[in-house]
């Protein structure tokens, strides 16, 4: 396969990836319209990776054909973009840890609040399941994200 | 060794931050397995600190291990006090930290709280929600009058 045909195939892939993302984004938005919230678009967010991949790959290929100065500028822009997204991606770990602590505390509190209300299952198997899940959550050694957290994470990542 | 092409440079620039991220992530996970977490390093040293730090699971674990909600212990500075450490009961620590859910948890774990411990928790914080949570489990002999005996 020649260089020109390779680039054409890559361009075709890019169009497909971006098109697929656009379709999933539209479908996801339509399905979740009744409950509009950023998190609800997470399925389309997964497919965003495809569109981002297509965009970055196309930009990298363009770099090879640009004059030297413009190529250098584009490489710098790509570097900043990827570094910024990497810092943002590290937020996943931060967010998962903070959510883990919150959910562990929820498991400590909520079953006690549910007892004696309509939320507490009448079925002994259901009660046993809740008790076992609560015990399991309490047994986990999770860092306390509310005590003594340094200030810098809140400046870098949103909670 | 061959000379770097422009394509190699672009690939390296785009890949390097992601590789650094992956290495850092693995390092953090390894750190967690060996010695806590590099960001969240403060761990409660007693039941009073667990209550002050709003750590419900630690409260349950420590009460299950035999710690009592009426036994005072030191809470490090900056959490429920200014620059000095304070020695308070877990119930007082939860009240001072204004954590209604921790107060309810403590009183649920140890319902037979003694009147003096209850009264000190009542007097350490005047917030209406806190006092309402305490009032639900008030021992019969406990006073709501705050004098020198109830204040530290």
B117 and B90 both lie in a single domain:
yes
Task: Answer yes or no: is pLDDT of A159 > 70.
Answer: no
* Sequential pLDDT tens for chain B (152 residues): 567 787 888 999 999 999 999 999 999 989 988 888 888 889 999 999 999 999 999 999 999 999 999 999 999 998 998 889 999 999 999 999 999 999 999 999 998 888 999 999 999 988 999 999 999 888 887 778 887 666 66
Task: Render the burial of A64-95: b for 16+ CB within 10 Å, e for the rest.
Answer: eeeeeeebeebbeebbebbbeebeeebeebbe
pLDDT at B3: 72
A149 to chain B: which residues are within 8 Å by CB? 39-40
pLDDT of residue B95: 95
- With respect to residue A123, please indicate whether it lies within any of the assigned structural domains: yes
In a domain, residue B145? The reply is no
Residues B95 and B122 in one domain: yes
pLDDT over threshold 90, residue A6:
no
The answer to whether residue A105 scores a pLDDT higher than 90 is: yes
Q: B57 and B107: one domain?
A: yes
Cβ-defined contact of A86 to B18 (cutoff 8 Å): yes
Mean pLDDT of A66-85: 92
- When pLDDT is averaged across residues A93-106 and rounded to a whole number, the result is 92
Domain of residue B20 covers 1-41
Is B110 part of a structural domain of the chain? Answer: yes
Q: Which domain holds residue A130?
A: 81-159
Q: Do A151 and A88 have their domain in common?
A: yes
User: Do A86 and A21 belong together in one domain?
Assistant: no
Provide the pLDDT for residue B75.
96
Give residue A10's pLDDT.
67
Q: In the prediction, which pLDDT does B58 show?
A: 96
Q: Does B81 lie in the same domain as B126?
A: yes
Structural domain tally of chain B?
A: 2
Q: What's the gap between Cα B152 and its chain centre?
A: 21
Q: What is the pLDDT of residue B107?
A: 93
Q: How far is A38 from chain B (nearest CA, A)?
A: 25
- Asked if the structure places residue B104 within a domain, the reply is yes
A74 domain residue, yes or no: no
Residue of chain B whose alpha carbon sits nearest to that of A149 = B40
Average pLDDT estimate for A36-53: 81
Query: What is the Cα–Cα distance from B6 to A65, expressed in whole angstroms?
Result: 10
Q: Read off the tokens for B4.
A: 């770097």
- Is B40–A147 a contact, with Cβ atoms under 8 angstroms apart? yes
CA A11 remoteness from chain centre: 26
B81 and B53 fall within a common domain: yes
- Pairing assessment for the beta strands B73-75 and B86-88 based on DSSP bridges: antiparallel
Residues B21 and B68 in one domain: no
Q: Are residues A44 and A90 in the same domain?
A: no
**Looking at the structure, do residues A55 and A87 belong to the same domain, yes or no?**
no
**Which of A65, A93, A109 represents a domain boundary (last residue)?**
A65
- Token duo for residue A77: 């822009």
Q: Are B122 and B144 in contact (CB under 8 A)?
A: yes
| Judgement on whether residues A113 and A157 belong to the same structural domain of the protein | yes
Residue A26 lies in a domain: yes
Quick one: A14 and A52 in the same domain? Answer: yes
State the average pLDDT over residues A36-57. 83
Count Cα atoms within 13 angstroms, Cβ side, for A49: 5
Q: Which chain B residues contact residue A90 at CB under 8 A?
A: 21, 24-25
For residue B2, the 8-state DSSP code is: P
Is the CB of residue A25 less than 8 Å away from at least one CB of chain B?
Answer: no
Nearest residue to A55 via CA among A89, A87, A18, A106: A18
What pLDDT shows up at residue B147? 72
Distance from CA of B14 to the nearest CA of A (A): 6
Residue A1 banded pLDDT, cuts 50, 70, 90:
low
Count of the separate structural domains present in chain A: 2
Interface test mutation site (partner A, options B15, B31, B32, B39, max chain A beta carbons within 10 A): B39
Residue A1 counted as domain residue: yes
User: Looking at residue A80, what is its pLDDT?
Assistant: 95
Q: Is residue A73 part of a domain?
A: no
Residue A40's pLDDT band (cuts 50, 70, 90):
low
Percent of chain A exceeding pLDDT 70 equals 89
Q: Are residues B76 and B127 in the same domain?
A: yes
> A82 and B37: CB-CB below 8 Å?
no
ipTM of the complex: 0.84
B39 contacts chain A (CB < 8 A) = yes
Q: Are B108 and B37 part of one and the same domain?
A: no
Three-class HEC string of B137-151: CCCCCCCCCCCCCCC
Q: What is the pLDDT of residue B83?
A: 84
């Amino acid at each position: 396969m020649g260089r020109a045909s390779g680039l054409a195939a890559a361009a075709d892939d890019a169009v497909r990836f971006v098109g697929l993302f656009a379709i999933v984004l539209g479908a996801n938005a339509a399905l979740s319209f009744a409950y509009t919230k950023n998190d609800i678009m997470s399925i389309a967010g997964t497919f965003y990776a495809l569109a981002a991949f297509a965009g970055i790959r196309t930009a990298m290929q363009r770099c090879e054909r640009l004059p030297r100065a413009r190529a250098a500028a584009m490489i710098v822009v790509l570097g900043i973009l990827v570094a910024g997204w990497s810092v943002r991606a590290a937020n996943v770990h931060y967010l998962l840890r903070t959510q883990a602590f919150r959910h562990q505390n929820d498991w400590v509190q909520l079953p006690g609040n549910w007892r004696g209300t309509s939320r507490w299952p009448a079925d002994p198997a259901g009660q046993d399941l809740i008790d076992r899940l609560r015990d399991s959550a309490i047994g986990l050694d999770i860092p306390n994200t509310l005590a003594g957290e340094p200030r810098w994470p809140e400046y870098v990542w949103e909670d | 060794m061959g000379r770097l092409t422009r394509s190699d440079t672009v690939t390296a620039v785009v890949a390097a931050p992601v590789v650094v991220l992956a290495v850092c992530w693995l390092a953090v996970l390894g750190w967690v397995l060996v010695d806590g977490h590099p960001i969240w390093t403060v761990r409660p040293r007693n039941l009073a600190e667990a209550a002050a730090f709003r750590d419900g699971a630690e409260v349950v674990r420590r009460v299950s291990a035999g710690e009592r909600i009426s036994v005072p212990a030191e809470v490090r500075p900056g959490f429920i006090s200014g620059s000095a450490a304070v020695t308070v009961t877990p119930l007082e620590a939860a009240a001072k930290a204004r954590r209604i859910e921790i107060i309810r948890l403590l009183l649920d774990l140890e319902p037979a709280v003694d009147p003096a411990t209850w009264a000190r928790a009542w007097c350490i914080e005047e917030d209406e929600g806190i006092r309402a949570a305490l009032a639900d489990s008030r021992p019969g002999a406990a006073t709501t009058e705050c004098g020198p005996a109830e204040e530290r």
